[in-house]
């Protein structure tokens, strides 16, 4: 059949109606799909595989948010979620009895004697330490949780580490339908993600991996890398609390936790549990208002037997309050190597949450913690 040039083929009346119906269905489906895309779907509980996870003691949450928060309820939620995923947890009464017997008051880390007692008396294989980094219950609500699993065997390294940062305006969607107005909605999502990440690691031996696609905008502004650092070598690392010169309380501890998380996620590093480092600092009464001196570094190298010491300074760690604001993070980092007794890495990084954001807020980072994670991932990539 030949088609005449310049003339459209004629459609029947039924065909036109059917075509219009299909177009209407597609148009109606688009907003529904968009709303679904912006709303987080809770992940299904993971099934227990053949691997046997160790017995875990979940310590009470450490509050680094500098605000009051329902820590007990949050911990109870996490325990419930971990049990749902087949984790073996130390009973509450047994945990409290052990904490009372060894006078454990600091829950932001594990000291060697506590780790030994947990292992010897209750057969605990790992201690789960969770820190609340941010808890904002006004609009938009924000939540940050940093968690790690510390081994109870010498040399007391961090087995797993991950963090979650959520904000109510992370995915506003069309007409703001994806906005979350309550921290009670965000918190279960954050706890779910942490529980899934830990379960995935312990049950399938799949560690959370570092984000390899960190944008160039998060790279350090200036850095020095000594040729002493070899690429293939596996380093043991101790992270010291950063000197905090920002307006935010506990920013030094928070940035140190970010480093631990990113080091654990990248290959080639074995991270010493920060509770062990804290114990040594207290024992030798080491305080460093400007970062570690070589004399301090020598003591820590001798006691902890690590290859690298990470120290630094935080100048900005600001979370914006209210909608539309951008977080701001600035830090300096130095790495001292044991054998050469020299600084083998130095860098300074500074970013805002809206760096490189031009259209409709795409790529905006809403919390200082998430921003610090990206910046730290970029630093660790460069160190490797």
Partner 1 sequence: MFKLARKVVVAQLLIFLLGGCATSGERYQNPTMDFGTVRRVAVLPFTNLSRDTGAAERVRDVFSTMLLATGSIYVVPPGEVLRGITRTTPADPARPSPEEVKRLGGIIGVDAVITGVVREYGEVRSGQTAANVVSVSLQMIETQTGEVVWAAETTKGGITLRDRLFGARGEPMNVVTQQAVNELMDKLFGTKTKTKTKTKTKTKTKTKQ
Return residues touching partner 1 (CB under 8 A).
216-217, 219, 221-224, 245, 288-297, 311, 313, 315, 330, 332, 334, 336, 342-343, 346-348, 350-352, 355-356
136 pairs with which residues across the strands?
142
Residue with Cβ nearer partner 1 (204 or 342): 342
Instruction: Estimate to the nearest angstrom the gap between the alpha carbon of 216 and the chain centroid.
Output: 20
- Asked if residues 153 and 270 have their Cβ atoms less than 8 Å apart, the reply is no
**Number of other residues whose CB lies within 10 A of the CB of residue 185:** 14
Q: What is the DSSP string of 289-330?
A: BTB--HHHHHHHHHHH--SEEEEEEEEEEE---STT---EEE
| Shortest distance (Å) from residue 163 CB to partner 1 | 25
Q: Rounded CA gap, 178 and 56, in Å? A: 36
| Shortest distance (Å) from residue 330 CB to partner 1 | 7
Please give the backbone phi and psi of residue 118, each rounded to the nearest 5 degrees, phi first: -60, -40
Residue with Cβ nearer partner 1 (234 or 360): 360
List the beta strands (DSSP E) in 222-268: 222-225, 235-239, 243-244
| Shortest distance (Å) from residue 297 CB to partner 1 | 8
| Shortest distance (Å) from residue 356 CB to partner 1 | 6
* Dihedral sign, Cα of residue 107, residue 110, residue 111, residue 113: positive
| Shortest distance (Å) from residue 348 CB to partner 1 | 5
Residue with Cβ nearer partner 1 (264 or 352): 352
| Shortest distance (Å) from residue 253 CB to partner 1 | 18
Residue 284: Cβ-neighbour burial (10 angstroms; 0-12, 13-18, 19+): exposed
């Amino acid at each position: 059949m030949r088609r005449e040039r310049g003339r459209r083929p004629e459609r029947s009346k039924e065909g036109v109606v059917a075509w219009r119906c299909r177009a209407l269905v597609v148009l109606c489906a688009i907003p529904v799909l968009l709303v679904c895309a912006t709303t987080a779907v809770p992940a299904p509980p993971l099934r227990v595989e053949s691997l046997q996870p160790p017995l875990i003691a979940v310590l009470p949450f450490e509050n680094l948010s500098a605000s009051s928060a329902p820590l007990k309820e949050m911990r109870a939620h996490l325990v419930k979620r971990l049990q749902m995923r087949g984790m073996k947890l130390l009973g509450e009464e047994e945990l409290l009895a052990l904490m009372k017997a060894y006078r454990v008051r600091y829950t932001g880390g594990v000291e060697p004697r506590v780790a030994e007692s947990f292992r010897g008396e209750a057969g605990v294989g790992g201690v789960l330490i969770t820190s609340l980094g941010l808890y904002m219950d006004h609009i938009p609500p924000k939540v940050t949780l940093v968690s790690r699993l510390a081994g109870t065997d010498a040399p007391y390294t961090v087995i797993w580490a991950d963090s979650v940062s959520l904000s109510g305006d992370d995915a506003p969607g069309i007409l703001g339908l994806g906005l979350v107005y309550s921290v009670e909605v965000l918190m279960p999502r954050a706890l779910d993600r942490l529980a899934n990440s830990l379960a995935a690691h312990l049950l399938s031996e799949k560690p959370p991996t570092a984000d390899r696609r960190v944008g160039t905008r998060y790279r350090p502004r200036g850095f020095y890398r000594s040729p002493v650092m070899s690429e293939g070598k596996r380093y043991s690392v101790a992270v010291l609390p950063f000197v905090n010169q920002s307006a935010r309380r506990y920013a030094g501890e928070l940035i140190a936790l970010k480093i631990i998380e990113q080091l654990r996620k990248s290959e080639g590093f074995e991270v010493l549990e920060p509770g062990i480092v804290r114990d040594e600092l207290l024992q030798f009464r080491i305080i460093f208002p400007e970062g570690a001196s070589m004399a301090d570094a020598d003591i820590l190298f001798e006691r902890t037997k690590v290859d690298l010491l990470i120290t630094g300074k935080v100048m900005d760690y600001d979370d914006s309050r209210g909608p539309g604001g951008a977080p701001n993070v600035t830090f300096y980092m130095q790495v001292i190597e044991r054998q050469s007794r020299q600084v083998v890495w130095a860098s300074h990084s500074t970013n805002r949450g809206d760096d490189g954001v031009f259209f409709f807020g795409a790529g905006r980072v809403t919390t200082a913690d998430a921003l610090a994670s990206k910046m730290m991932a970029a630093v660790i990539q460069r160190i490797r």
